[in-house]
Every structure is written in C-alpha cells, then in structure tokens.
Amino acid sequence: MTTATAPLTVGRLAEAAGVTTDAIRHWEREGLFPAPERSAAGYRRYGTAELDRARFIRACQRAGLRLSDIADLLSVRDTGACPCEPAGSHLERRIAEVSAEIARLEGLRSQLTAMLGAVESGGCGGGPLPENWCPPGVRDGGECE
C-alpha cells in the first residue's frame, strides 16, 4: 500500500474508482492488482497508488480493452514507463473489432428497415420477412398476405 493518507477499504476504493467491490476483487484474482495489505482484522487496505491503478483499469475497460490487454499495459506501466507504445497495437486491434461490429450492425439495420418497409406496405407475407412471420394457414391465403 502506497499512501500518505488514511488507507482505503475495498468499499471506499471501489466507490472512488467508480467500480464495484466485486470488480476490485476480480482484478486481484486476475493479477491486475497486487495482493493488498491487510489490517489486523483482515480487511483489505489500499492507498492512492491502488486508486490510480483502479482508475487506469476502468478507463481502459471503457475504451473496450480486454483484461488481458490491460494486464499487458500494466506490466509496462509498473516499470515506470508509459505504456503508450504497446497500447497502439491493442487499440488498433480493438478499432478493427469495433469496425467489424459496426458493419454487422449496419447490415442488421438494413435488414430490419427492409422488413419494416414490407410490413408497412402491406406485404407482410413476402419479401424480406421471415417465412414464418405469419402463422401457418394464414400464410396460405389468409389476410396476412
């Protein structure tokens, strides 16, 4: 624990970092956080360095980085060096993943728009709609067509 102020409990650390206590404990289990000092009663005790680390992890998560990516960046950061250079490859990969997801979602939007157009034009039984849009029997000459 590195702190010049009163130590933080896991609850206060989590609150200050904007995460849950479960997140802090999970990060500890995953090796993103060193084992904390413990009080005489066994409570976890954290300092400002751990708060900074939690905020860094959370910021990386908000950017969409995986915990394994964050662990790589922390290993560089822990040496006292800025992790900017290795962050580039992680960010480039994440941008490619986001671009692929955007393309998938744009295709989905196009499909849904076509389906809505078919419904609004009264062509519920054909076109881009799923074949089972209308119940059996109605499809074959009922008013759904």
> pLDDT tens, 47-56?
999 999 999 9
Amino acid in the structure at residue 130: P
What is the C-alpha separation between 119 and 63, in angstroms, rounded? 38
Q: At which residue do the structure tokens 């394994």 appear?
A: 68
Question: In Å, how far are 24, 34, 40 from 5, measured between CA atoms?
Answer: 20, 19, 18
Gap between the Cα atoms of 68 and 61, Å rounded: 11
Supply the pLDDT for residue 5.
65
Q: What pLDDT does 82 receive?
A: 83
Could you tell me the residue ranges of all domains in the chain? 10-117
User: Over the stretch 59-102, which tens digit does the pLDDT of each residue have?
Assistant: 999 988 999 999 999 998 988 888 888 888 888 999 999 999 99
Structure confidence by residue, pLDDT tens digits, 10-27: 999 999 999 999 999 999
- Per-residue confidence (pLDDT) for residue 137, from 0 to 100: 65
pTM above 0.85, yes or no: no
10-117 CATH fold: Multidrug-efflux Transporter Regulator; Chain: A; Domain 2 (1.10.1660)
